[in-house]
């Protein structure tokens, strides 16, 4: 999986506190001194069950304490531009955070024609629509086989 990391964001270590029982492979912070400003997490090899199942698993994590006050704010499918191209399941959400009491985020689960799946999530108190669009428009699912 490839995507454009927002300019000025810092690559950091993935740790056990990062949300999801499945784990993440890569992580970036908007401001390492303020973890709630923005976090980008990526797992380019999330499994072979498709984007719908990936989103179900990730969203269910939130109900077990990953994000207090998690409220989904819409789900959608983004269909491929080309036949057999990757499909994306998108979930927007809001949650409570420790900085200012609120945060927002987006989960993208990307599947290829064989249901190989990767996931990307961005969340934070300083996430805006332009940043979400920048990340979403840059996501490419690459066959690693």
Residue 85 located in a structural domain: yes
Q: In the prediction, which pLDDT does 5 show?
A: 95
The domain of 95 spans: 38-124
- CA distances to 14, 23, 47, 66 from 84, rounded to whole Å, are 32, 28, 18, 34
Residue 16 located in a structural domain: no
Residue 26 located in a structural domain: no
SS3 138: helix
State the pairing for strand pair 39-47/71-78. Answer: unpaired
Residue 141 located in a structural domain: no
Residue spans of the chain under pLDDT 50? none
Residue 55 located in a structural domain: yes
pTM over 0.95: no
Q: In the prediction, which pLDDT does 11 show?
A: 95
CATH number of the domain enclosing 56: 3.40.1000.10
Q: In the prediction, which pLDDT does 16 show?
A: 61
Q: In the prediction, which pLDDT does 74 show?
A: 80
Residue 90 located in a structural domain: yes
Residue 23 located in a structural domain: no
**How many structural domains comprise the chain?**
1
Q: What are phi and psi of 77, to 5 degrees?
A: -100, 135
Residue 113 located in a structural domain: yes
Q: In the prediction, which pLDDT does 118 show?
A: 92
Chain mean position to CA 62 = 13
């Amino acid at each position: 999986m490839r995507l454009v990391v927002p300019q000025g964001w810092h690559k950091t270590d993935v740790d056990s506190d990062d949300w999801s029982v499945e784990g993440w492979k890569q992580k970036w912070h908007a401001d390492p001194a303020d973890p709630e400003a923005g976090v980008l997490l990526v797992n380019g090899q999330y499994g072979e069950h498709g984007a719908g199942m990936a989103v179900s698993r990730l969203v269910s994590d939130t109900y077990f304490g990953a994000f207090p006050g998690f409220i989904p704010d819409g789900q959608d499918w983004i269909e491929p531009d080309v036949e057999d191209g990757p499909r994306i399941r998108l979930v927007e959400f809001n949650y409570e955070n420790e900085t200012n009491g609120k945060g927002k985020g987006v989960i993208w689960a990307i599947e290829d024609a064989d249901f190989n799946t990767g996931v990307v999530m961005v969340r934070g108190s300083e996430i805006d629509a332009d940043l979400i669009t920048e990340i979403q428009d840059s996501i490419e699912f690459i066959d690693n086989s």
